[in-house]
Structures are given as structure tokens and as C-alpha cells.
Structure 1
């Protein structure tokens, strides 16, 4: 009996619903039938939201160490983003097309990635889709975090100019990117391209819609929520939307964050905050980023003048950016500097108590106190540290407890007044021959209403039966509760509705007597209560 092999574990699915590929072994060869090439898979570079990215090289070449010149993006065949991206690259990212565009615009470099191949590959019974691209360096988002979440203003506008060139190229092909952000902007690796930023990841690229501008709820809030344009919040990708996304990125690179980063889990709230931000750009930018260049405000103001389907004036946008760079003494082709040149003075802080605020530590000279002499027989603390053994590792400095500032709530403070308890009023004394229902418990209260008519009353019998009642039955019933004010009479009446015959019929009815009563001097309060539907005996 032959043993059965273990069943392959199905790749896991991410929270976004996309199936993740199983790891592919280094050295796996991919046959590209369209380009008639073979690619060899190298070490994995990273995992995206839809698949995995591997380093790669020509099957015949042998790269030194980890210097693989290409990358292969791989996803399971049932996923969608790479399918969209593949078709975009096939149509718009061929090397000849990019070179001819650069020649027509008279530019030396363009941050548009080059496409080298695509196809399908089967690995261990699973079918994959792949895309071969040029390999690039670090992404701007990681560099942004490494540099304390801040870029120099000149660098911000240099990258802005490079992204304008790429967006103009994409728009000229009839597409919009719709997901420009630091994580999708990579620096060049080849010699001579170290200062060129490349815009990658066209998984959300969409064709420009020539139809009337109409919100699409199905595509609402598409993209990365921090940078999504107001048009994309409505479900429509536009060219002016790409410029707006670039503006939000530049604001974050200057200020360190965006005004709506605390409410990213609420897309509608982010949309409302962006609408309010763009209504008064100058006030909003100055408030969030004091000292921001005037060029950024002009850029946002120009975006507000664009119509939904209007093609942006890229030359005007370049003029806004270049005028600022000229004032800083920098050109578009200057070297990109990501670290700030200004050295910030750091003051040592001492926390006396957790409940007290941080106070900068002053030197003895500033305080006006003379330094205390060291005790006899003991070396100064600094000298002791210098004379320690070099091989011993210094103890790590003790972490000082820093009091976290209280979060300022945006909601107005609410003052709640406590209600004063009123003293209960005394229960009035029970009158004679009366039952005080206010002080009765649930057991002492009668469940039945004192005025409820019992089912042995004459009315129920008259309605329920057609036979006339005897006088003895009427006298023995509970008719006394009506004070003999009703009498039963037989009346001959005609039907209101027209019938085939004019026959009369008799019907028993209860007729009220006209009884004249004399006013009594006694009050109803003095009369005994009625219990169980009957009057007590006189």
C-alpha cells in the first residue's frame, strides 16, 4: 500500500480579501513567452497588499552578491491589482515610448519605471501572474521616518517637480495614478540616477473618464485615505485629483503630519476635513504648518480653480515650484538633501516628580551657585568613570519618566449639575371608611378594579343570550350598582338597510330612565366605598 503525500497548504488570505502567494524558492526560473526571455528569482524584497516582490536577474547572468538589477512582482492568478498594473505597463511603460517622450519635452530624466516583461507561471500546482520591472532603491516613506518625519523645503519642491513630470506623462496617456505617496516613490539605484525619484505601483491606475462628472458610491474613498483627493472621495479619479494628492504629500513632508491623521478610520470625517481645508487654503496651511512656503499655498489655490475634467497647466505649476527653488538657491537638477542642515540644540531635561512639568537643567554658573567640592578620600564622579576598565560595558542610562501631556479634546466641556434630592412629603392620614391606596403594598392591593363589572351582571346575560330574563334573576343580580337607572324594553324597529322585505323585528335594548334626584347635603366622601362591584348593606 503506497503512502499518500501531504496535501499542500492553501495560501492565506489577507484582511483586504487578496490571496497571498506561497513563498517561491530562490533560483526558480520563469519563462517569459512574450519577450522570449528567462528570469531567475532571487531573494524576496518585500510583501505588498496583493502579493510578494522578489529580486531577479537574467537566467544567463550571474549577479554579484545581492545586486540583482530587476524585480518580479508575483500574485496569485485570482487577484486583481497586478492584472490592472500589468496592462498599464504594457501600454504605457515601454522603453522606446519613454525615451521619445523625454526627447519631445527636452528633459534628461523621468521618474517613470520601465517595463521588461510579464506572463504567467505555475509553481507547485499554483498558477501565478508576474511582472518584471527595473529595480530601485529606498522609498521616501522610510526615509521620511528616518529623518524625524521632516524633509528640507527645497527637497520637498524638488521631488514635487519630478512628480509633476511623471504625472504629466501618465495623464498624456489618458490615465491617472490615484495613489501617489511616499511608499510608492523610490530612489534610483543606477549610477547617475541617485537623485531621481520614480513613481511606482499602478494598481489603482484608471483611465480618465470623458463622461459627465458624476459621483460613484461604489468607488468612494478609493486610495490611501491620508492623501485621497476630494474627487476620489466621491468615487471619481481625476487629473486635478492627482495634483491634490501630491499637494497633501508635500504638506506632510514639510509639517510632519496631516490635519486629519487622527480620524483616518472615519473616511467621511476625513473627507469633510479636506473640504474645509481647501475652502480656506491660506488659513489652513498657515495654521497647520507655520512658516510654510507661499509656493505651496499658491499650488493649492491653483488646484481649486481647476474644473473636474480640465487638463492641468503643468507649466504654471512648475513655475510656482521653480520660483521657490530659485529663492533657495537650488535648481531642479541639484542633489537631493534629505537631512536638515540646521543643528537643533538639545537641552538636558530633569523631571523632579511625575506630577511636575519638565524643567531644563541649568549649569552651576547659570544658577549662580559654586560647584560643591568633592568629599575627601573619594574621587569625583567624572574621574571615576574615566578610570573604569575599557572592556567593561557602560550601564545603560536610566530612563527618566516623562509626563505625557493631556490630550486636548475638541469637544466643548460639559458641566453636569447634580440634582438635589427632595425630602418626601408625609403621607396624609387615612380618612374614616376609606382605604389608602398610596401606602398599600403589591400584596395588599386588589388586582381587580373596584368598578369592574362581573360576568353575572344583567347586561352580559342580555347580550349573550336571546332568552328574556326572569324577575327573580334580575333581582338577585348585581343590577343595584346601576341605581335602577336602566330598564329593559322591547322595541319594534325597522332595519336601516333596505332589505327585500319590510318585516319588523323586535330587539331588546337597555333604556336609561329619567330619574329626578334631590340634592343631598352629604358629600360623596362620606359615602362608603364600593368593593367587589357591590354596595355594602345599609
Structure 2
């Protein structure tokens, strides 16, 4: 038992739907199947479902103990859960290997996408009791392939898958059940050699028996299934055969166009139900308006579903004929190889405004790639468009003009707005002469970096004699020779506003020796006076039965 399993056993996991999740089971655990008289060995986990975990498995006796091949899967859930209990009984009654082989022979089919049942029972692990179901192992699911292909399938592949699912639904309905949860995640491709082009419908946790009771909505079961594919009958709480066909039609439409119209409202089941009712009310006009490349065969399939009554048994031959006739027009058959290549995604028909917007965006990207010299960056497989080449007049409206104003004047703009050419006359301003420097004034603006005097950060100068020297330095002595004077000692533009006076300042006297100075302070003396008369406050107090000693 690994540490992961011990932790899970101590605190069992729970899903949002309230189901208890099983504790992880170690690789190599052996399950003894009493009913089938077999032993199954558990391999690595494949995935986790809504109510349990799925493990790869092999026959413990016939398979090598160290082998990597696991041809089976085991679905495990705690006994407290219920979905696997329902699925187990469906498989016991309808997925017997002999029954499936007999049906294939009767219908003259090459294969059928119905999974085969191999065993079930109970197993106790680490003090917890689990229910298990053994099935054949299959390959990748269609939902993963759908996302890998850019949310689009080739049209012929969609109709091939539709034919295979109709065969499976006919088998299930003939046994008195409906699936009620058809979706890409529940459709797996074959893993064995020769079954790669066969899709298998799995997960019968919502499988329901068909009854002869009157069609009556059941609010307790309303909106059951996966909300984006749920049929209109299932939204009312009733699972029907025509509902299975409708769910299949929604899947095929999504595989063709990429997204269903109501996928943005999945958190509101009632809103999704109303949108489906409106969509199916006039399905032909709704599909042709929104999607341009949906084949008419799928539209006729939806129209046939609308013509059915709730308790009607579908005409499977008619449905198969619709799909097979389309495949013939494309040169394919139902047994052709399934292709999962990314195709062009279905788009709504673009209007004229949309087209203009796309052209504008393309031209904007083109103009951003232009270099400063007017030549765009060369792209692979294309020659760069030079400036001297003529501009296409059809696209010149959305491109950045490259020629001068006079050249664009000759080209006609195809636009409803009139073109205006504005000429701006640039006037050259003559620079003013620098005023002559006054006498005895050094123009610091024209000095070089070497000629400029580097001043101390303590000095602040405005080229004025008043604030030339700040600090303890003495001003330079004025001499008759003006060349020896300081650079900033000459008068400046404000010399008429100030009067310069020279004053002799005597230096401060300095102490030649250290002298002791005595400072006298006056301290107030507190005077106490004796009271003239005695009061009760002056009497000796008695503390602990004794009087304090008398002071002399």
C-alpha cells in the first residue's frame, strides 16, 4: 500500500455530486472473481469518473506478471454509490458476448460498437468494500480527438460515426433500454487490431428501461444527462428512443460546426431547454442561416425526429439511408477509414461589413510591418513590395500612403467621402544673432567643458559679485590688472542695481590657552516653618499597637 492510498483511506474523497470516491488501489492488487472463476490483476489507473475510478487490468493467471499489456479495464466504486450498480445490471443483461455475436450475424454487420462484459463482483481493500465491473479496454475517446483536431471533424467522418451509433442504439432499444447520455467522451475507438475504425458507445450509468406508461413529465428527473446534448424529452424528465436520436443529432452538429448555439448558457438548464425548443421548431431555417456547410442529410434527420411521437420506435433503416446516401456522394462508405484531420471550422456567413473589417485589419497589419525606408519586411514566398511599384487602386483606401502628397493626388480614392489635399507652407525662421558680451563678463553659455570652472557643491553662483563667495573664504583682492581678477568678479547685467562696498572685518579673537571658568548658580532654599498650634495631625499615630519613638 502506497502513502497515497493511506492518505485517501483516512479521508475519503468526495465529488461535487456527493458520491464518495474510492481510495487509490495499489498497482498489482489481485481481485478474485468468484462468479466467473477468474482472478484479475489491477494495473495503472486510466482515469476518474463522476462516481468511481477506472483501472487497467489483465488476467492474473494467463498474463505475465511483469507484462505491460492490459487488455481489460476495471471500474471501481464504493458500495455506497449507485451508478455502477445500475450499469452493472445493464451489462449483465445486455452485453453478453454471445448475444452481441448473434445480433451481428442477424443484421449482417461486420462489427458493432457495443462493449463486451467480462465480470463483476465485490472486493474488499484496506477495510473498505468496493463494487467492480470488468470490461474490454478501448482506445482514445472522440472528445479528446475533437479537441486535438481544432474542434472540427471531416464531414464524412461525422456521418460514418453517426451510422455506427445508429447501429448501437438499435441494439440497445431492441433490448428495451435507452442510453440517454451519448457524447464524445462516452464514444471510444477500438484498440485491438482490426477495430481501429469502429467506435464503441460506453458508460451506461444513465441507461433507463423503456416503459409503456403514458408520456408524462417528471420534474425529479428533469435535465438529466449532459446539458449541452440533453434531448427535449429528457429536459422534461422522460428518457425516450427519439430522445437518443436527438442527442446523437446534437453531437453530429457540434462535430461539424465546432460549437452548439446554446453552449454559452449551460449553467441555466431552463434557458438551454428554451433555446433547443426554438431551434428545433424551425430547424431548417435555423441551420441554413447560422451555418453554410451543414449537409442536407443532417437537416432531414432532425426533421424526421420532429415528426416522431414520444412512444414511437425509430425507423433506423430510414436514418441509415440518409447518411449512406450522403457518403456515396462523397465517394465514401460506412466501412471507409475514419479520418480525424483538422478541417476548416464552420463559420456564420459573413456580411459585407464583416468583410470590410477583415480587409481593414489585414491592411493595418501590413502597414505595421513597413520599415522606415518604405520597404516592407520580406516574407517567405513573397517578394517585398518596393516603393516605386504602382499601388493597387482597389486596396489603396485601407493602406498607408507611401508616396508624396502630389503623387496621391493623381490616384483616385474609391470612397464615398471626398478626398481633401491640404498644403502646409513651412516658413523658415532666421536665427537671431547672439548679443555681444559685455566688458569684463565671461559668457558661460559659449564656454567649453574645459573652460568652465568646476565649483564646489557648497558654492552657489549666479555670476554676480554679491553671491560669488559663500563660506569662510576671503574674497580675492582687487588689483589693477583686470586679467588676474576672478571670472565672476566683473559686473553683470544687474550691476546698476547694486552698490559694492568693501569693509574690513577683524578676525575673532582666539584663546591661546585653556582657561577654567567657574559658573555660579543660584539655588532656591526650601524653608520650613513650625505651626504655632498643635492639631490632631501632629499627634503620634499608632501603628501596630505602638507609637512611633519621640524625636529629640
TM-score range, shorter chain: 0.5 to 0.7
The counterpart of 1:204, out of the listed 197, 203, 206, is 206
Could you say if the C-alpha distance between residues 233 and 100 of structure 1 is closer, same or farther in structure 2, counting changes exceeding 3 Å? same
**Corresponding position of 2:324:** 322
Partner of 1:38: 39
User: How far apart are 1:62 and its partner, in Å?
Assistant: 1.6
User: Do the aligned residues in 2 keep the contact of 1:144 with 1:151 (CA within 8 Å)?
Assistant: yes
Does residue 369 in structure 1 map to residue 387 in structure 2? Answer: yes
In structure 2, how many angstroms separate the alpha carbons of the residues matched to 1:286 and 1:183? Answer: 28
Q: Structure 1 residue 284: deviation in Å?
A: 1.4
Unmatched 5+ residue regions in structure 2?
1-5, 347-359, 370-375, 390-552
Q: Which SS does the other structure have where 1:62 is aligned?
A: coil
Q: Normalised by the size of structure 2, how large is the TM-score?
A: 0.62
Q: Give CA deviations for 1:370-418 in whole Å, capped at 9, x if unaligned.
A: 79xxxxxxxxxxxxxxxxxxxxxxxxxxxxxxxxxxxxxxxxxxxxxxx
The alignment yields a C-alpha RMSD, in angstroms, of 2.1
Contact 2:8–2:24 (CA<8 Å) still a contact in 1? no
Contact 1:115 1:133 in 2 (8 A): yes
Change in Cα spacing, 1:56 to 1:212, as seen in structure 2 (3 Å) is same
Residue 266 of structure 1, CA deviation = 0.2
> Which residues of structure 1 form unaligned runs of 5+?
345-355, 372-538
Equivalent positions of 1:301-316 (< 5 A) are 301-316=303-318
Deviation of 1:118 (Å):
0.2
Q: What is the match of residue 136 of structure 1?
A: 138
Equivalent position to 2:259, from 257, 260, 279: 257
- The aligned residue for residue 385 of structure 1 is none
Given candidates 267, 282, 285, the residue that maps to 1:283 is 285
C-alpha deviation, 1:369, in angstroms: 2.8
Q: Contact 1:46/1:54 (CA < 8 Å) preserved in 2?
A: yes
- Distance in 1 separating the partners of 2:205 and 2:212: 21
| Deviation, structure 1 residue 288 | 2.9
Instruction: Give the distance between the partners of 1:274 and 1:66, measured in 2 at CA.
Output: 47
Distance of 2:56 and 2:65 partners within structure 1: 11
Residue 235 (1) aligns with residue 237 (2): yes
Cα offsets for 1:420-457 (capped at 9, x unmatched): xxxxxxxxxxxxxxxxxxxxxxxxxxxxxxxxxxxxxx
Q: How does 1:11-410 map to 2 (within 5 A)?
A: 11-60=12-61, 61-62=63-64, 65-340=67-342, 357=361, 359-361=364-366, 365=383, 367-369=385-387
Cα deviation, 1:110-147, whole Å, max 9, x if unaligned, reads 00000000000000010000000000000000000000
- 1:175–1:207 CA contact under 8 A, matched in 2: yes
- Tell me, in whole angstroms, the C-alpha distance in 2 between the residues paired with 1:66 and 1:269: 48
SS at match of 2:10: coil
1:406-425 to 2 correspondences below 5 Å? none
Number of equivalent positions: 356
Moved over 2 A (4+): 5-8, 63-67, 340-344, 356-371
Inter-partner Cα distance in structure 2 for 1:95 and 1:343 = 40
* Aligned CA distance change for structure 1 residues 214 and 91 (closer, same or farther; 3 Å): same
Partner Cα separation in structure 1 for residue 344 and residue 228 of structure 2: 29
